[in-house]
Amino acid sequence: MKKHSVDKPTFALAVGVIFLVCMPLVLAPETGGATLKALHQWITQQLGQVYILAANAVLIFLGWLAFGRFGQVKLGDAEDKPDYSTFTWVGMLFCAGVGAGLMYWAAIEWAFYYEQPPMGAEPGSAAALRWASSYGIFHWGPSAWAFYCLPAVAIAYPYYVKKVPLLRFSTGMHHFLGKNTSGVTARGIDLMFMLALLGGAGSSLGFSTPMISAGIARLTGLEQGFGLDAAVVVLSIAIFAGSVFFGLERGFRKLSGFSVRLAIGLLLFILLAGPTAFILKTGINALGNVLQNFVSMSTWTEPFADGGFVEDWTMFYWAWWIAYAPFVGLFVTRISRGRTLRQVIVGMLVFGSLGCSLFYIVLGNLSLYHFLEGNVDVVAILGQGGGKDVIVAVLDQLPLAALVIAAFSLVSILFSATTYDSAALALAGSATRELPIGENPARWHRISWAMMLGVLPITLLFVGGLTSLQTVLLVVSLPILAICVLMAVSLVCSLQAGETAAAHAAEQPADGAAGRMNAAVEGGAR
C-alpha cells in the first residue's frame, strides 16, 4: 500500500454529502430555512438536557484522568521530548480551536444577556449586567475546552503509545475496533466526523464573515452584501490554502505565532487606549462571578421558566464545541508528542480558557462601557440584526480607529485561516489510508479540503439566519457526542490494559531470574 494514498470511499462520500446538503439549500432557501428552524426547535426541546449533562461529565472525567494514576502517561516513547515549546504549542492549539467566532461573540454577546438575562434576573438591571459580563467567559471556559480535550487524549494515546498509524477520529475507538481500522464501522465514524467539521466550519465562518466584511466596508467604502461576504470567505481560503501548501512547520506554526502576537498587541492597545479602569474592574468582577457560580451555571436548566436562555445559548455553544471537537482533537494530537496526559489536559483547559477570557474581558467590556456611556446604542443596533455594525461602531470610539479596525479585521481573517488550516489537515488525515507518526497527508489532498471548506459557509450565508447556523451545529454534534462517550470508555480500557501489560512485563525478568536461580540450585544439589 502506498504511503499517504487517499482513502477514496471516505473522500468521495464526504464530498458527495456536502453537495447533497448544499444544493437543496441553494435551490430552495426559504423551504430549507424553515426546515432547519423546525429541526432546531425539536432538538432543543427533546434532547437539550443531554448537552448539559455531557459538559459536566466530560469535565469530571478529564479531571479524574489528569490527576489520577494515568496522569503521567506519556504520549510517545519514554525518551520523546515535546516537539514544540509550551508557548508555541499553546498558540497553535488556541488558533486551531477558537476561530474568528471568538472575535465576534466576545464583543457583543453580553448585550443579548442584558436584554434576556439568565438566572431570573430582571432585564436591564444591575444583576443582568453582572451576568451579562460573566456568561460569555463561562461559555468559552473549561467546560467548552473539555469537549476539545477528550478526543485529543483519546486519539493521541493509541496513535503515539499503541503506534496505530492512522491519524483519524476513529483511532480514538481503537480498543473496540482492534485491527478493523478500515472497516465499515471505522469509515462511518470518520465520515460523521468529517461532516460535523464541515458543518461547524460553515457555521463559524457564517458568524464571523459579515463582521470582517463590515470592517472592510468601513475602511474602503465598499458596499456590504453577499458579494463582499463571499470575497472574504475566498480570501480566508486563499490564506489558509497557502499555509497548508507550506505545511505544519513553515505554514501553520508561523501563521499561528504571528496571529497570537498580533492579537495580544491589539488587546493591549485597546486596554490602554480605552477605558482601562472600567475594563479591569468589570473583568475581575466577571471572573470572580464565574468562579463563585461555576457549578450552578454548569447545571442550570431553567426548569421553572421558559425564557429559552439555555436552549439558545448554552446548548448552542456546547453543540458548537462538540462539532469542532474531533478536528481540534486530531490537530492537538498531531502537535502533542512527548507530553503527558496531564500536561495536555491542564494545558488545554487552563490556557484555552484564559485566552478566551482575555478577549471577553477586553472587547466585551469595551462595548459595554460605550453602551453605558451612551456613545453606542449596542442593544438597539443588535435589535436591527446588526452585530457586525456594533463592533465597527465600538472600535470607532478608540484613537486611531481606522488602524484598530484594520488590525481587528486582520486578526479575524488570520484566526479563520489558522482554524481552517488545521481543519484541512485533520480532514486530509481522516481520508488518508496510512499516516505514520510525524508525517502529514499529501499536499494536494490538504489543499483540496481547504477549498472544500468554503462551500458550506457560502451556502449558509446565502440562506442566512442565526437559527440555520445553530441547527447545523446541533444536528452534526449529536452523533459526535455519542462517539465521544465510547471514546472515553475505549481510552480507559486501553490505559488499564497498558498498565496491566507494563506490570506483567516488569514481573517477567524477575520471574526469569528466579527460575534460573532455582534451576541452578537444583542442578548443584544434584
Residue 468 belongs to what H/E stretch?
Answer: helix 466-525
At 445, the amino acid letter reads: H
Question: What average pLDDT does range 21-31 have in this prediction?
Answer: 63
* pLDDT for res 409: 86
pLDDT of residue 22: 60
Mean per-residue pLDDT, 477-503:
86
Name the nearest CA neighbour of 169 among 188, 155, 179, 181. Answer: 155
Q: What is the structure's pLDDT at 139?
A: 95
| Helix, strand, coil content of the chain in percent (nearest 5) | 80, 0, 20
Q: Which residue has the cell 477520529?
A: 169
- Average of per-residue pLDDT across 66-89: 91
Q: SS3 letters for 299-347?
A: HCCCCCCCCCHHHHHHHHHHHHHHHHHHHHHHHHHHHCCCCEHHHHHHH
Better-predicted residue by pLDDT, 91 or 60: 60
> CA separation (Å) from 1 to 7, 270, 435?
11, 54, 12
For the CA atoms of the chain, what is the radius of gyration?
Answer: 24
Which helix (H) or strand (E) is 427 found in, with range? Answer: helix 401-430
Cα 387 to chain center, whole Å?
A: 22
- For the chain, the average pLDDT equals 80
| Rounded distance between C-alpha atoms, residue 463 and residue 471, angstroms | 13
Confidence of residue 519 (pLDDT cuts 50, 70, 90): very low
Residue 283 C-alpha from the chain's centroid = 23
Confidence grade of residue 278 (pLDDT, cut at 50, 70, 90): very high
Residue 515 reports pLDDT greater than 50: no
What sections of 28-78 are H helices per DSSP?
A: 29-67
Tens digits of per-residue pLDDT, 81-92?
A: 998 889 889 988
Region 230-255: mean pLDDT is: 67
Of the listed ranges 59-63, 310-314, 350-354, the one predicted with least confidence = 310-314
Condensed to tens digits (0 to 9), the pLDDT of residues 395-447 reads 999 999 999 999 998 888 888 777 777 777 777 776 676 666 666 676 667 77
**Mean pLDDT, to the nearest integer, of 461-477?**
59
Burial label for 231, CB within 10 Å (0-12, 13-18, 19+), is middle
| Secondary structure class of 340 (helix, strand, coil) | strand
pLDDT, residue 33, reads: 61
Res 470: pLDDT: 55
pLDDT for the residue 143: 95
Q: What is the DSSP code (8-state) at residue 465?
A: -
Is residue 41 predicted with pLDDT exceeding 50?
A: yes
CB-neighbour burial class of residue 230 (10 A; exposed 0-12, middle 13-18, buried 19+): middle
Residue 371 grid cell: 453602551
* pLDDT, greater one: 393 or 252: 393
Per-residue model confidence (pLDDT) at position 514: 41
Q: Flag the least confident range among 43-57, 314-328, 435-449.
A: 435-449
377-400: buried (b, 16+ CB within 10 Å) or exposed (e) per residue? ebeebbeeebbbbbbbbbbebbee
The candidate with the shortest Cα–Cα distance to 419, out of 454, 466, 469, 470, is 454
Note the pLDDT of residue 366.
Answer: 96
Mean pLDDT over 196-212 rounds to 66
pTM (predicted TM-score): 0.83
